Amino acid sequence: MKGKGAFSQVFEADGGVVKSGLCVVCKGAHLLCGKPRCPLMIKFYSRQRTLPMVDLKDLAGSSPPAVFVGRYGYPKVDVGPLVPGEFGDTAIMDRPEYWMGKSIDDIVDMRFRLVRGKYRIDATDFRKSGRIVDDLQSLALTEKPVEVVANFREKPRDRLILDDEVEPFGPSARMDAMTKGNGRWERNLEKGYYDTDLKANAAVIAAYRSGTLISEIQKAFSVGTLGTEKRRRFVPTRWSITAVDDIIGKDYLTRTRLYPPIGEFRIYRWEQLDNRWCVLLLPTTWRFELIEAWYPDTTWNPVGRDIDIISDCEFFQGRADYAHIGGCYYASRMAVNELLEREHRTAGAVIFREAHPGYVMPVGVWNVRENVRMALRQEPFCFDTIDLALGYIDSVMDIKRRVWIRHSGVLTDYLRQRRVEDYYGHTVAAAEVEEVHPELSKDKE
């Protein structure tokens, strides 16, 4: 699981390196953990800016709007609003679609200004929980920031919570009550809310096709406002993010995998938050792979000496099991299919991701979705052969083709197969496969 256990030992305030004294010796100044900047200090400075607003039991502010549904103890989970101690247009705080170009500091600062209220409910029988649930559902459907007052049992407490699936957020506390102002609901989500005969998948797709932001659909999905009446329930935020990406991606695939293939090898390139991306599109039938390379001193490889590489793939028929890379797989697959649908073409897709040491803390699965989307908005580099395409990857990525191929199911399969074009002058880099996979050097019958 990308070394999450090791990460907890290093950075959680109640274990690992903190107890061993390394952070005490370092104090964020000597960077003894090997990172170029201290994640704890990034959080600390953001926390200092939020202290005045959390030193009280009642908090009022303009929610972006934002809600959070926990997953621990499911179906008995904590739910609640995310509220900043400020008024005005706070929408940007919970719209990751607009975070391209922002630094880690910008994102952390925004998110740690959001204080989470926690109220325990039964996610499968939420109607018994009364007014708070009604207000949370209304908040999740609201189009623009709306005033919220949260009444806490105690002063919100800060805790370092880092997750590769969900956006970070600030302090939290148990909540006795909340009140919210009036706001207009997002019209597409409102339709889904009142249509209690419409299945959740259909409601998600209808809202997305009508232009609703994916982040807004995910909120509505998480608070039980979509789907048939008897099947509505609260869904942990972490699960709802992946569910919506998967639903949209699968809807695209019903069409995109049947389109004619593209006519060349393409590479789309992008860099953001010290993540380096290359998206390779192959002129083949549908297949997909995400390969992530985590450098030492990055979020999920904090104490390693070697680059950790993890991958997941599927071919024309799709996959039956859950990708062990997690939500990033479904977010990036959806983004690729957005492009294929626009062009009415199909392709094989391999996404190469290098996470370099400047990526000091996780900021959520949106980072993958929006960066792949942004990469695919760039002008592609086009090539006639796979050799030329892989040669370009060699020139722009630190990791070379031999390593990528060794960890790639899609590339290995492509390079070991004989195709019609092989007999018409198109060369295939079979030597690359034979070098790293000698057992695959023979043609597949």
Q: For residues 128 and 121, what is the distance between their CA atoms, to the nearest angstrom?
A: 8
Q: For residues 119 and 77, what is the distance between their CA atoms, to the nearest angstrom?
A: 8
Average pLDDT, stretch 151-172? 82
Whether the predicted pLDDT of 1 surpasses 70: no
Average pLDDT, stretch 213-220? 98
Per residue in 136-148, pLDDT (tens digit) is: 999 999 999 999 9
Average pLDDT, stretch 150-174? 83
**Better pLDDT: 195 or 12:** 195
Q: For residues 191 and 198, what is the distance between their CA atoms, to the nearest angstrom?
A: 10
pLDDT value of position 296: 86
3 state DSSP class of 115: strand
pLDDT value of position 47: 63
- The closest of 236, 251, 212 to 79, measured between CA atoms, is 236
Average pLDDT, stretch 395-404? 96
Whether the predicted pLDDT of 260 surpasses 50: yes
pLDDT band at 443 (very low <50, low <70, confident <90, very high): very low
Q: Is 388 exposed, middle or buried (0-12, 13-18, 19+ CB in 10 A)?
A: middle
- Which range (124-138, 382-396, 412-426) has the least confidence? 412-426
- The closest of 9, 164, 136 to 77, measured between CA atoms, is 136
pLDDT value of position 131: 94
- Identity of the residue numbered 168: P
pLDDT value of position 361: 81
Most confident of 40-54, 71-85, 156-170: 71-85
pLDDT value of position 43: 66
Residue in the structure block whose two tokens are 């904590």: 78
pLDDT value of position 15: 32
Whether the predicted pLDDT of 211 surpasses 80: yes
Whether the predicted pLDDT of 332 surpasses 70: yes
- The closest of 169, 416, 414, 387 to 284, measured between CA atoms, is 414
pLDDT band at 37 (very low <50, low <70, confident <90, very high): confident
Whether the predicted pLDDT of 422 surpasses 70: no
Average pLDDT, stretch 86-93? 96
Per residue in 295-328, pLDDT (tens digit) is: 987 777 777 788 999 999 999 999 999 999 999 9
- The closest of 270, 278, 265 to 415, measured between CA atoms, is 265
CA distance readout (Å), 195 to 212, 219, 233, 301: 17, 17, 15, 46
Q: Are 10 and 16 in contact (CB under 8 A)?
A: yes
Question: Mind giving me the DSSP string for 357-422?
Answer: TT--S---THHHHHHHHHHTTSPPEEESSHHHHHHHHHHHSSS-HHHHHHT-HHHHHHHHS--GGG
Write the CB contacts of 336 (distance below 8 Å, at least 6 apart in sequence). 279, 281, 288, 349, 351, 372, 376
Q: Are 323 and 329 in contact (CB under 8 A)?
A: yes
Q: For residues 386 and 396, what is the distance between their CA atoms, to the nearest angstrom?
A: 16
For the chain, what is the mean pLDDT?
86
Per residue in 14-26, pLDDT (tens digit) is: 333 333 445 645 6
pLDDT value of position 271: 97
Q: Are 165 and 242 in contact (CB under 8 A)?
A: yes
Whether the predicted pLDDT of 441 surpasses 50: no
- Cα distance from N-terminal residue to C-terminal residue, the chain: 36
- Which range (62-76, 166-180, 420-434) has the least confidence? 420-434
pLDDT value of position 44: 62
Whether the predicted pLDDT of 231 surpasses 60: yes
Whether the predicted pLDDT of 200 surpasses 60: yes
- The closest of 369, 370, 308, 372 to 7, measured between CA atoms, is 308
Write the CB contacts of 425 (distance below 8 Å, at least 6 apart in sequence). none
